[in-house]
Amino acid sequence: MIRQIRDNQRLRKIVESFPKLTITVVGDLVADEFIFGEISRVSREAPVLILKHRERSVVPGGGANAVYNLADLGINVLPVGLVGDDEPGRLLIKAFRHKHIPVTGVLKDKSYTTVTKTRILAGTAHSPRQQVVRVDREPASEPNQHLRRELVLAAREYARASDALLISDYGYGAATPEIWNAIRTKADPNRLPITLDSRYRMLEYTGVTAATPNEPEVEQLMGIRIGQDWPRLLNAGQQIMASMKLASLVITRGRDGLVAFDRKHKTINIPIHGTDEVADVTGAGDTVIATFTAALAAGASTEEAAHLANYAAGLVVMKRGTATVSRPELLEVVESEGASPGSH
């Protein structure tokens, strides 16, 4: 009990220190568009539903969602990324400005299409909305050499004034291993934590401190099926740790919580916080890496940072759409739950 109180106080101090920190995010900035419609009838033209348009919203997604999560945690966040000269790009920049997030590191280019993921949700007046289809709009090619150079220069400048650097690679070209290699000469991992969320090519990054893949990404990366095979999960995590020379690794497992690996300490298995009856998992990975990075920047251990990330994930999946967790919300959970270290 005494240890739990002490751990609780430690986590609270970590979260309370967030406003003193600055974190750079180099990432693929995505616009998440949600179109809500009320089911009207079945079309005569084809066996599909006709939806009466009710509402539309565009919110930061992908790397932009990690930026938004950091801002809501009280962090001074410096985004580096790319948008097109189009409506989704303008709405992302507007959203950043609304949160007082600097946008000088966000490049705008006429030849680039802002990555936009449009989710169409249907429902009735008295029923929950369900996603029926998603339409993705993506740039035809990766950023050109000039834009890549500008991204590197902005990231180098920001990294010098930061307490951590977060790389959010969704595969659209603004946060590639090549861009990271060009940045890293000015971003010493011995000086500040460098965290990575890479959808498809995590093992291609070198010199990062920590990574936060989900279990399906690990399975695809390692060519295995994990399921409930704890030894196989443990072995996969240890292989990734050794291959990338990481200080820490967090593998998120949905309703099974997360597993935290540390170079110097034992692996811990942390059950999901709250209920496993979630409302929406959209963007939960962005919340995990944002909270984990913020905690590491504040001096937290892998275990402490993983517990805070788990609390934040438990909160955000209860919110519909692409959402964030605020610092007061996280503090409230810390106060009510305290630390509850677990191991397999």
Catalytic residues: 286
Burial class (CB in 10 A: 0-12, 13-18, 19+), 16: middle
Pairing, β 106-109 against β 76-84: parallel
Pairing, β 76-84 against β 22-27: parallel
HSE of 8, CA atoms in CB hemisphere, 13 A: 13
In Å, what is the CA distance from 288 to each residue of 26, 154, 173, 298? 16, 25, 22, 15
Q: Which residue has the tokens 């993506």?
A: 138
Residue 23 near residue 70 (C-beta atoms within 8 A): yes
Residue type present at position 189: P
Residue type present at position 324: T
Give CA–CA dist 258/43, Å, rounded. Answer: 44
Task: Dig out the tokens for 198 from the structure.
Answer: 């890479």
Residue 336 near residue 74 (C-beta atoms within 8 A): no
Q: From 5, 163, 140, 9, select the one nearest 75 (Cα to Cα).
A: 163
